[in-house]
Amino acid sequence: MDTPTSKPTSWLNRMRSHRLTTTFALLGTLSAGILVGSVITHGVSGKEQAPNSSDAKPLVIPAAATLSNGFSQIAKQVGPAVVNINTESLPKQQQQGRRGRRAIPVPRGQAPGGDDDDQQNDMQDFFNRFFGGQGGGDDDGDGNPMGGERRALGSGFIVDPRGYIITNNHVVDKADRIYVRLSTDPDNPTDPGRPAKVIGTDKDTDIAVIKIEPDKTLPTIKLGNSEGAQVGDWVLAIGSPFGLSQTVSAGIVSAKNRSIDEAPGPGGVASNQFQRFIQTDAAINPGNSGGPLVDMAGEVIGMNTAIYTQSMGSQGVGFAMPSNIIANVYNMLIGPEHKVVRGSIGISFQPSTSSAVGRMYGFKNGVIVSTITPSGGAAKAGIQPGDVIVSIDGHEIKDGDDLVNDISGRKVGSSVKLGYLRDGKQASANVVIGDRAKTYADLAGNNDDNDNNGPQESDAGMAKLGITVSAIPPQIAQKTGISHGVIITSTKPGTFADDIGLIKGQIITEINKKPVTDEASYRTIVNSLKSKDDVVFVVHSPLQKDRGNTYIGGTLP
């Protein structure tokens, strides 16, 4: 009976033993698989992280090559003579009595705005002279800034190693402080540059000459003959667009003798009639104004002046004043009078007429006279409105440009033979050339009884000293007890008078121990002053009576 009961127990034990064996076998197989997979995966990962690059060749920097276009050589040649110009305009109400001011340079990337005085016409809806003109902002109606200081930016180029620089008039116009930075000057944002003074300006051609006092001989750039430039010639524009000095852009001469249409001013005379530009597609932007346009000989054939734009940026149409005009104006501005004198015969004319007018009055080429200035040479020679001028000294003229270009270049006081038509009949007259500035004033109705027999007070005092004066008003004479002398009506910042402390309202009674009794004696003394002279003024305050003499002096620059 014992045997049957013991068999089931043995079978159960065997089953339990077999299941454990199977389980251990499965676990061992699984562990081995995991181990093998890990090894294989590790090997694959290692290969992806460290690829074999033994067949790669290292890059080699080649020797510097000289390219064939020559642009870089020209840029190196003329670049040192191109300068950066910063200007500062002070608020009008803060100009009196300020001394020791120092400008802050124009921030990099700042694009100065256009001049508020720019004339508006059909083309100037898009034509913006904003390269280096005085920055935007309100003014007092006379072009004087109101509010904070205004700064502007432009370019220029050195033509004389003693520091004479050519730029645009609109770059320095109305500026109280002018600073120049040379290409070799360190890039110091706290230093605006070297102070410069204006030698002379010509608004008709938008040309100005300024000067710095160099501590060494300066590099210069050579002027070329703009008549030799041809449409299609390569040119380089160099300047400081957006304050980025020594920027070079390349293009071609795309047109010549380009004029910008402008409505005539008083007397039918357009203020831009002497502006005939070289057109270029070299990139020109704010800050380029006054910089040179250089040909492939490294010579200046123009000065970058303006652009035609719809986006306030370069669109491939820029205008440069030709170098031949620049040279003629420069030579007059550095002369003793520091101004441009142009000839005139005292007429105004219509810039263009229809063919019907020519058929009616019997001429094909010529200029029909609109008005006559009574004091001008044409009036004195018998020329009348309606006459058609067809020749000058026997040479036929095509239009008003021919007439103006010929007459304006002649010496004041010389005479010229004009051929003209009157009622279809030929006639001629000898006409004496007059001063265009005076003639223009007559046409505009601004002439007064004071002839230019001698320097006026504004010319004498402003040019040398930086002040204007007038007779002492009776109420001030009564209050101060001073009846002889002159009173200062304005002092320009940055000038000799401002530096030594002369201010508006002071009464001048002596200069260099010579009594100043009136405006005439003042002009006589000032006209005799020369550079490097010591100048001492005896001045009085208009606010107090019997305050005594105050002595203010300095050495003329």
Q: How far is CA 163 from CA 36, 56, 141, 285, 451, in A?
A: 86, 58, 35, 26, 35
Helix (H), strand (E), coil (C) string for 474-508: HHHHHHHCCCCCEEEEEECCCCHHHHHCCCCCCEE
Query: What are the tokens at 176?
Result: 């109280």
Task: Answer for the pair 353, 362: CB distance below 8 angstroms, yes or no.
Answer: no
Query: What are the tokens at 182?
Result: 């040379």
Helix-helix angle 519-527:457-464, to 10 degrees: 40
Tell me the C-alpha distance between 274 and 88, whole Å.
Answer: 28
Helix residue spans in 165-311 (DSSP H): 169-172
CA Rg, the chain, in Å? 39
Q: Angle at the Cα of 154 (from 151 to 160), degrees rounded to 5?
A: 125
Q: Is 289 a catalytic residue?
A: yes
Catalytic residue among 289, 314, 344, 348: 289
- Dihedral sign from CA coordinates of 118, 119, 125, 129: negative
Task: Answer for the pair 384, 345: CB distance below 8 angstroms, yes or no.
Answer: no
Q: How far is CA 437 from CA 447, 450, 510, in A?
A: 10, 14, 34
Identity of the amino acid at 6: S
Tell me the C-alpha distance between 136 and 112, whole Å.
Answer: 7
Q: Is 414 a catalytic residue?
A: no
DSSP state of 256: E
Tell me the C-alpha distance between 40 and 44, whole Å.
Answer: 6
Catalytic residue among 89, 115, 155, 170: 170
Helix residue spans in 362-456 (DSSP H): 377-380, 400-408, 436-444
Contacts made by residues 231-236, CB under 8 angstroms, sequence distance 24+: 231/255, 231/256, 233/295, 233/296, 234/295, 234/296, 235/280, 235/282, 235/293, 235/294, 235/295, 235/296, 235/301, 235/302, 236/71, 236/74, 236/75, 236/282, 236/293, 236/294
Q: Angle at the Cα of 159 (from 157 to 160), degrees rounded to 5?
A: 130
Catalytic residue among 173, 202, 204, 206: 206
Active-site residues: which are they? Answer: 170, 206, 289
